[in-house]
Amino acid sequence: MTLRRTVASIAVAAALLCTSAAAQQPTTPQPSAAEHPGRAVVTAKCFQCHTDAMFRDARQDRRAWEAAIYRMIGRGGLWTAEEIKLMADYLGTEFGVRRE
């Protein structure tokens, strides 16, 4: 076996090890709506002024949620572009348009 091939097979073995270790990891977060990273941001930021009762029944797409977030900025909210993106992603997922 050449050195090149040995290195290549070590790399393959390492990649396989990593993959199986990750698959066995029970705490690996699955991207579900409940664990969406934007959820914590929404709870931390939106709940400063009102609870989700204000928007729990609303159903709209991500763009419309982003617009709602900008309305809240007009009312005094102060957030980074990254926070706005995470919140719009989360709201568009959890409170998106129902497809039935």
Closer residue to ligand HEC in complex, CB, 36/72: 72
Closer residue to ligand HEC in complex, CB, 17/73: 73
Residue 18 lies near ligand HEC (rule: CB under 6 A)? no
* Nearest by Cα to 91 from 54, 22, 8: 54
Token pair, residue 5, equals 């091939």
Closer residue to ligand HEC in complex, CB, 87/89: 87
| Residue where the block lists tokens 């993959």 | 19
Residue 40 lies near ligand HEC (rule: CB under 6 A)? no
Cβ neighbours of residue 52 under 8 Å, at least 6 residues apart?
42, 46
Min separation Cβ 7 and ligand HEC, Å:
50
Binding string, residues 57-96; x marks residues near ligand HEC by CB under 6 A: -x---------xx-xx--xxx---------x---x-----
Indicate the length of the chain as a whole number: 100
Q: Provide φ and ψ at 40, rounded to 5°.
A: -65, -35
Using DSSP, state whether 61 is helix, strand or coil: coil
Applying CB under 6 A, the residues found at the interface with ligand HEC are: 42, 45-46, 48-50, 54-55, 58, 68-69, 71-72, 75-77, 87, 91
